[in-house]
Structure 1
């Protein structure tokens, strides 16, 4: 929805004044361009057609670096200035009026460095917004676009009382226009409206939805922001210009290149902001000692493993089932370097979780533990006593021995002991993984596991090179001891 955007401006209560600037007879055409990139811009809220969201994105979401022509839009300032401020505003928006004061100050403060390009963005919920834009364009036919703009901004209350068309006629006489020529230009609304509509469509293409919005050499500023916000953006644009000049980039290419640099910087800042946000949300790594007793389900293709993943899972947990293919890929990728240990962590609110754990242990007694585990995960929706019996038959287990083990107190105690180990290590949900003592929660993507495993392989290899006498089991224990000692635990 289109919005009239409010910023915090120190000159809110100051009376509107006419700028001491020259007004060229006719607007000019430039091949300079603005980056088509403004889906989400920074800060500021204000009056809106619908309630404005209070959520502020960390950085602009840039589109591709396509440059669009500035066309015949009205200009102020040095036409060859290295810094181009493109403004999208509504003449009935009070925040656009406030921002005008700042823009006038900037043009006076940077007479050689800054050029302003004005784009109309009349807001649908402001009834006099488009008629006001027509009045400004009609005045522009006599080279008085800017006097009319400033007069309309200063007369917003009158505009609201008598309408923009009537206010425009009064102002045309006041600023010395030929009233007949003004009326004739205003009567040709099709041509004038076409100019306004081009600006509106351009704003839509760029994702601009509120006024005022400014783009300073590709860098967005949203709302009637304080002067120092604009000064900082201009300073950055001038720095980019100086860098390009020092590199020998032709003057005719510097504006477009400056916009491209602004995009690159914005992407880097956005990525940095995302990484910082992710780090802020990510709890500090938790390190725990986790023994491998030897009676768990263990995948150990060789005796020279460097990394041990201890998995705590519930066989009725759908997220644990999702982790199965990821663990399979990790086993294939790392081969003999990786040991995987499965420990049971049945969840009390899952009716058949503990039964399934005992079934896997009972099948393990006959060398079919992994097969029972995988079969249960594959048919979780059917889990219950009937499925357990059916799977025991399908795996061709000794049913009498399996049934006896299923009811054996020692089997239940093994499941309970593994669960207690998880609780002592800080496991509170499933699946949870402990990778060489590092606790990881949830069914993470493959590459998340791989990054940790690669890091642990490097640590383990370095320690193994220092202590070649350590076998893999001793190396695993030493790695955890060193990590806990360095963490002060």
Structure 2
């Protein structure tokens, strides 16, 4: 869960996105970016644009551009309508389809669902927030992890615990439990889902 106007999310992006993509490519995790938005500047417009870009597999390039803009232009000027339109023009997407998406209610429905989901998470306090199988990553005191190093360490621990061999059963005829599935890490578009390996 992240928002484009957040400095903490921008730092998380810079410090962790390559590491997350590597884990996706290795098949260790599935990555889902859940878009939220703040109240400063046009971060809602940026989130809406990202959702519509995702429909054409252009989420990740726009995602990266938004975090660059946030750092270059500040929270108020980063996501002006003119800058977003200019950024969209640089992507290899069907502009009429993008405009149709923007004028529909689809992006707003996704953003509303994302906000509702975030409010329903136990221990969710701020962005960035990463979940594994729907559970916010927390420390031993149940405080949400928010730094890239803490989150990556917790992910590696979850991956390692999933990969640990099952204890042998005492009865010869008992079936061995199946290996657990890869943890699903939440951090990509809710609807539509952009494939992390396709663009990153």
Q: TM-score, normalised by structure 2?
A: 0.71
Per the TM alignment, residue 200 of structure 1 is displaced from its structure 2 partner at its CA by 0.6
String of CA shifts for 1:237-275, please: whole Å, max 9, x gaps.
Answer: 122212365663324xx249x79xxxxxxxxxxxxxxxx
Cα RMSD of the aligned pairs, angstroms, is: 2.7
In the alignment, what sits opposite 1:41? Answer: none
**How many angstroms does 1:108 deviate by?**
4.5
Corresponding residue to 1:225 among 119, 144, 147: 147
Kept in 2, the 8 Å contact 1:211–1:223? The answer is no
For residues 238 and 155 of structure 1, the distance between their equivalents in structure 2, rounded to whole angstroms, comes to 33
Which of 111, 129, 133 does residue 47 from structure 2 map onto?
Answer: 133
Task: Give the conservation status (yes or no) of the 8 Å contact 1:95–1:223.
Answer: no
Alignment coverage as a number of residue pairs: 166
CA contact (8 A) 2:4 2:37 kept: yes
Residue number in structure 2 paired with 1:202: 117
- Deviations 1:98-142 (CA, angstroms, capped at 9, x unpaired): 10123322134433123211112212x324221111010111121
Alignment partner of 1:181: what SS?
Answer: helix
Question: Conserved in 2, the CA contact under 8 Å of 1:90 and 1:129?
Answer: yes
Flag the 1:230–1:163 CA change in 2: closer, same or farther, 3 A: closer
Match for 2:88 among 172, 183, 192?
172
Query: For residues 106 and 162 of structure 1, what CA distance do their matches in structure 2 show?
Result: 25
- Tell me, which stretches of 5 or more residues in structure 2 are unaligned? 139-143, 169-175, 185-200
1:241 aligns with 2:157: no
Alignment of 1:424-463 (within 5 A): none
Residues 97 and 153 in structure 1, CA contact (< 8 A), matched pair in contact too: yes
Matching residue within 78, 98, 122 for 2:37: 122
Match status 1:148 vs 2:62: yes
| Higher normalized strand content (fraction of residues) | 1
**Counterpart contact for 1:120–1:196, Cα < 8 Å:** yes
**Residue equivalent to 1:271:** none
Alpha-carbon offset, residue 215 of structure 1: 1.8
Once the two structures are TM-superposed, the CA of residue 226 in structure 1 deviates from its matched residue by 4.1
CA distance in structure 1 between the partners assigned to 2:74 and 2:82 by the alignment = 9
Q: Write the mapping of 1:85-104 to structure 2, written as runs, cut at 5 A.
A: 88-104=1-17
**Greater C-alpha radius of gyration:** 1
Unaligned runs of 5+ in 1: 1-87, 260-489
